[in-house]
Amino acid sequence: MAEVLSSGTLNLSWRRDLFGSKLVLWNNLAACLANITLNHEQDDFKWNLDQACVFTVKSHYLGLIHQNIPNTNKKLWKFKIPLKIKIFLWYLKRRFILTKDNLARRNWQGSQQCCFCHEDETIQHLFFDCHVTRLVWARSTRLGVCLNQVVYLICLETG
C-alpha cells in the first residue's frame, strides 16, 4: 500500500468504467488518500458513527437509515410489470447488460458493431438509438405503457 500511495498518481484500472457519482466518489477518495502518510506505528480503529468511537450494530443501522441518499430504484420496483422485466431493467440501469462495448472491456475480441445497422453497439445505441430498436419499442405497448419511455426514465435518469 505504501508503494502505491508514494508513487504520486494512482494508476489503477477497473473492470467497469467509473462514471457519474461513482467517479466523483473515487476522485474524492483519491484526494483523501493523497494526504495520507504511512508510518510504522500501530493502527487505531475508530467508529465515527458512535460517540464512544466503538462499533455497534445500532450505530451502524442508524447511520444507514439516516443517510440522505435517494433510492432511485423505488420507482422501478413499484411498476406493475413482471419481476423478470424489473430485474432486466435494473441490470440495464446499472449498465451490466453485456453489449459489445461492455464485452470488449472484458477482452472480448469480436466486432463491436451492431448487427442491425453497423454502428458501435452500446447500451444507449442498442436500446434507444438503433432504427431496429425504435421499431421494436414502437410495437411493444402490450403492457399498456410506452415501454421506451419507462425504460428511459427509470434506467437513464441518473446517468
**Would you list the domain boundaries of the chain?**
2-65, 74-156
Ranges of beta strands (E only) in 103-143 are: none
All three cell numbers of 80, joined, read 406493475
Q: Say which residues have a Cβ less than 8 Å from residue 89's Cβ, sequence separation at least 6.
A: 76, 150, 151, 154, 155
Q: Model pTM?
A: 0.50
Q: Is the dihedral of CA 95, 101, 107, 111 positive or negative?
A: positive
pLDDT in tens, 42-61: 888 888 888 898 999 999 88
**119 exposed, middle or buried (CB, 10 Å; 0-12, 13-18, 19+)?**
middle
pLDDT at residue 113 is higher than 90: yes
Query: Which residue would you say has higher pLDDT here, 91 or 144?
Result: 91
At 155 the pLDDT is 58
